[in-house]
Structure 1
Amino acid sequence: MPSSKFQHQEEDSEFVQLPYEYEHNHWNFIQSTLTPLLNTHSVTKMLVLQIIGTIIANKNNKINTKAIDQFPNLLCLDHALDLFEEQYYPDDYQTEKSFVQTVMPFVASLVLNTEQFVPSKSLKYLKRGQTDTVEVSKAGAACLLANSFFCTWNRRSDEALWDIFPSINYDEMFCEHPNYRPKLAKCLMLLNYFARIHESFDSIQKNPNLKIKFTRTCLDASTLPDFSHSNLPLTAIEVHCEGSISDSPDALQMDFANKFIGGASISYGCVQEEIEFSLCPEMNVVRLICQVMLDNESILITGAEQFSLHKGYAYTLDYGGNYIDTNKDSVGNSLKETSAIDALIFNRTTALSQWQKSKIDREIIKAYVGFSHSSKQKISTGCGAFMGDKELKSLIQYVAASQARKDLIYYTFKTPALDDHLAKLVNSMRNKGVTVGQLYQALVNVISTVGSPVSTIETFKTVKNLLHL
């Protein structure tokens, strides 16, 4: 296990320690291990896998790095390199060149030249309880992700730093188990990202205005609105049965996140957050700098470009091919904005507790923080994660959005009944002039109105009765 000294350093330091700043012997080891990849004509898939395995093994102190047959199982990456080489790279990039011999040396060079694009003490942590912003150049983000690809970061996924940080190396995603199919898809998305960055890196490095911005927002109790007495009117809402949150590119897109931002995006995860972070790999830089979110915090990611498409979802996730993001400003930055908020997790035993006032307050505050700190007027969102009641979640977000003076684009994910009933309830409330405070009071009184014991709660019906609609 890594020393407690390193953990203390990551927890208390103001700035990320970059691999080139590690102790001299360790950085020398990384340099010497990656150098063979710079000789493009001798690069093979097996060499790439052996080098990644060597770095992982050396970091973990598990095996003699010369014992090739004992390297970590990198089967997903192994198969992804074959598939991308044979099926995707020739067609999508109109080239007869070898992907492994062209792009992998480039990725290795990004690691070795990290200091040029991410200078020492230029990447600060976004810590719990603080509001702050970090900007990373597009070239710098590529260098950071190249380090993640070759697993050079000292932070391991099985150490105590999980208490405050997500993992940052891709080693778990490269391995066969668990969730082989979605991990293979995500490996292909990552390879496509590096192919695209390789193709455009000359222009990227010449344009320092190409950036990704990460903003952590923390609202303390003194700055929170009094939802119960708010006289603000309810805002507009569009309800869609078909489509997904990402189908509204001009709106702020919500990421129903793990409190450890990114969740299992660089390992076995394969649902909304993990897919989004795989389609837009630059988002994963946030894993390096953001500590675990508190109940009154959100994280806003601005300018992370989408590079890939996907097919399927969860265990049926597949790579959908290359994607060209045309939604950009005059400089060339993606206009995509994503706000990450973590919802409470319920199960069959605890499901009814989500109607408790304390739980509703927590979720409204979390949504309000996530909604209110973007310049975009519309919020693209949905519901249903972590066994949350879909009717309750939709109204919680509606209260938060209305208080933040934002309009909602609400995707019900092919739930026709919710689609119809939510739209009708919203129209009735707005026509009657229901305020944010009145809707909030109705929500927190649902549980006492239906009584106990109860196995299910009809939130829309109960709210409608409480508001005399």
Structure 2
Amino acid sequence: MEGMENREDLKSMLPFLPLLLGSSNLFWPSEVVKSLETLSKGPLYSKVDSGELLFNAISHIRDSLALPSLQPVAPFARGGYALFFDELISRAEASKWFEEVVPALANLLLRLPSLLESHYQDADYLFNGVRTGLRLLGSQEAGIVFLGQELVAALLTCAFFCLFPVSDRGSKRLPTINFDHLFEDIYESYSKKQENKIKCIMHYFERICSSMPEGLVSFERKVLPLEQLPLCVSYPEADFWSKSVVSLCPFEVHSSGFIEDQSNGALEVDFANKYLGGGALRSGCLQEEIRFMISPELIAGMLFLPCMEDNEAIEIVGAERFSNYTGYASSFCFSGDHVDKRNVDGFRRCKTRIVAIDALCRAGMRQYKCTYLLRYVKFGFPVPHRLAYGIERKVFL
């Protein structure tokens, strides 16, 4: 078995993780371990029983990391954590958070090094000859990553604690990942939809702390080659389509219902920003951002998937849904728990397949010009033309 220090997949991720790598293992600095152990014992021991004190604890952990690439958090994040936990939720909800959820999240962070080590060991044996370990899947680099739901939960906890180094993310064209801007926005320019976005994510943490899911989630970057390659479908131009004699596949039109509520195993298209997640961790609240709030495991892809080009799509399989909601954009509102009853596949992934493509912004009538029609038709090649394991699916838009 390859040693941790020699793994190329891990090496690609180390600049973007808050952990240290020894001769053969990942670990937290000793001061971080002490802080997390204190938090894990609950508010009677840690004295963390408010949003303001939670942010102080987060700041102390961040300082203990001593990472040169760990930039300061957003200026008003402190106010956002205090506002949400000390004013916007009930005292009963806050008590549950500080007495039960925060200690459980601290314990989960303490397990992150071992969860990652187990992940890399298992990744070598999931598929024969196919790399599935957590790594930076760069632009034009087709590949797939499988993550256990517990590891996803630990990574999202890192984001909640704002522990991911961010200074090198811009040069790699990676999206936002820490939650500081999510909380800053609720303080700097309060809105009901921002409060309810955070409520969705906090509900996810409550759920996984009471019952940790045990499945897998896969994240795959699909790339349609720009040049002609043997045995590959390349990036076709207008002439290809005008001369094609292949019949269109059957399709259905549904005039009601939500895309995420369709239950017949269709591919679900996420009309995304070129940066996966769009404004999910800022103030955005449209189709993509709402999907990421009700299924927060999708956010994990923002850690390691740089922005998409026109010949790329990202398929995420297995993200469980945890929240119900009403409204859209400014009227968005968390409306309670959602128990995802979808079956799982042979890889223990929930049978939810979401495909993100870079949609045009405010396209209007120009989307019907040949250039833009071609752009969207081409997305159909990296999306459903080569589905994982040869499974045919319908596509819901």
**Where on the TM-score scale, by shorter chain, does this alignment land: which range?**
0.7 to 0.9
Q: Do the aligned partners of residues 36 and 290 (structure 1) sit closer, same or farther apart at CA in structure 2, a change above 3 Å counting?
A: same
* C-alpha RMSD over aligned residues: 3.2
- C-alpha deviation, 1:218, in angstroms: 0.4
The 5-angstrom pairing of residues 53-452 of structure 1 reads 53-54=59-60, 59-60=70-71, 72-75=77-80, 78-80=83-85, 86=91, 98-119=96-117, 122-155=133-166, 161=170, 164-175=173-184, 176-178=187-189, 180-201=191-212, 204=213, 207=214, 210-221=215-226, 222=228, 223-224=233-234, 226-249=240-263, 250-329=265-344, 333-346=349-362, 351-374=364-387, 375-381=391-397
Kindly provide the amino acid, as one letter, of the partner of residue 212 in structure 1.
V
Kindly provide the amino acid, as one letter, of the partner of residue 19 in structure 2.
Y
Contact 2:55 2:81 (C-alpha < 8 Å) held by counterparts: no
Give aligned pairs, total.
348
- C-alpha deviation, 1:317, in angstroms: 1.1
- C-alpha deviation, 1:217, in angstroms: 0.5
Contact 2:224 2:381 (C-alpha < 8 Å) held by counterparts: no
Structure 1: tracts of 5 or more residues without a match: 1-9, 64-69, 90-96, 382-469
- C-alpha deviation, 1:19, in angstroms: 1.2
Q: Do the aligned partners of residues 162 and 51 (structure 1) sit closer, same or farther apart at CA in structure 2, a change above 3 Å counting?
A: farther
Q: Do the aligned partners of residues 85 and 139 (structure 1) sit closer, same or farther apart at CA in structure 2, a change above 3 Å counting?
A: farther
- C-alpha deviation, 1:142, in angstroms: 0.8
How far apart in 1 are the matches of 2:73 and 2:203?
Answer: 31
Q: Do the aligned partners of residues 291 and 71 (structure 1) sit closer, same or farther apart at CA in structure 2, a change above 3 Å counting?
A: closer
- C-alpha deviation, 1:85, in angstroms: 5.5
Calculate the TM-score normalised by the size of structure 2: 0.78
How far apart in 2 are the matches of 1:185 and 1:19?
Answer: 28
Kindly provide the amino acid, as one letter, of the partner of residue 361 in structure 1.
L
Q: Secondary structure at the match of 1:161?
A: coil
How far apart in 1 are the matches of 2:115 and 2:242?
Answer: 49
Kindly provide the amino acid, as one letter, of the partner of residue 54 in structure 2.
V
Structure 2: tracts of 5 or more residues without a match: 1-7, 121-132
2:56 paired residue among 43, 46, 50: 50
The reply on whether 1:20 has 2:19 as its aligned counterpart is yes
Which position in structure 1 is the counterpart of 2:128? none
Identity of aligned residues (%): 27
Q: Do the aligned partners of residues 128 and 239 (structure 1) sit closer, same or farther apart at CA in structure 2, a change above 3 Å counting?
A: same
Which position in structure 1 is the counterpart of 2:125? none
- C-alpha deviation, 1:56, in angstroms: 6.3
- C-alpha deviation, 1:61, in angstroms: 5.0
Q: Do the aligned partners of residues 127 and 254 (structure 1) sit closer, same or farther apart at CA in structure 2, a change above 3 Å counting?
A: same
- C-alpha deviation, 1:262, in angstroms: 0.7
Q: Please identify the structure whose Cα radius of gyration is greater.
A: 1
Kindly provide the amino acid, as one letter, of the partner of residue 188 in structure 2.
H
Q: Secondary structure at the match of 2:380?
A: helix
- C-alpha deviation, 1:29, in angstroms: 5.0
> Please, which moves more after superposition, 46-55 or 333-342?
46-55
1:196-254 CA distances to partner (integer Å, 9 max, x unpaired)?
A: 111113xx4xx5xx210011110113223532221111232222332221121321111
Contact 2:317 2:349 (C-alpha < 8 Å) held by counterparts: no
Contact 2:71 2:166 (C-alpha < 8 Å) held by counterparts: no
How far apart in 2 are the matches of 1:56 and 1:315?
Answer: 33
Contact 1:76 1:187 (C-alpha < 8 Å) held by counterparts: no
1:40 paired residue among 36, 39, 42: 42
Calculate the TM-score normalised by the size of structure 1: 0.66
Q: Do the aligned partners of residues 232 and 137 (structure 1) sit closer, same or farther apart at CA in structure 2, a change above 3 Å counting?
A: same
Q: Do the aligned partners of residues 237 and 81 (structure 1) sit closer, same or farther apart at CA in structure 2, a change above 3 Å counting?
A: farther
- C-alpha deviation, 1:255, in angstroms: 0.4
- C-alpha deviation, 1:41, in angstroms: 4.1
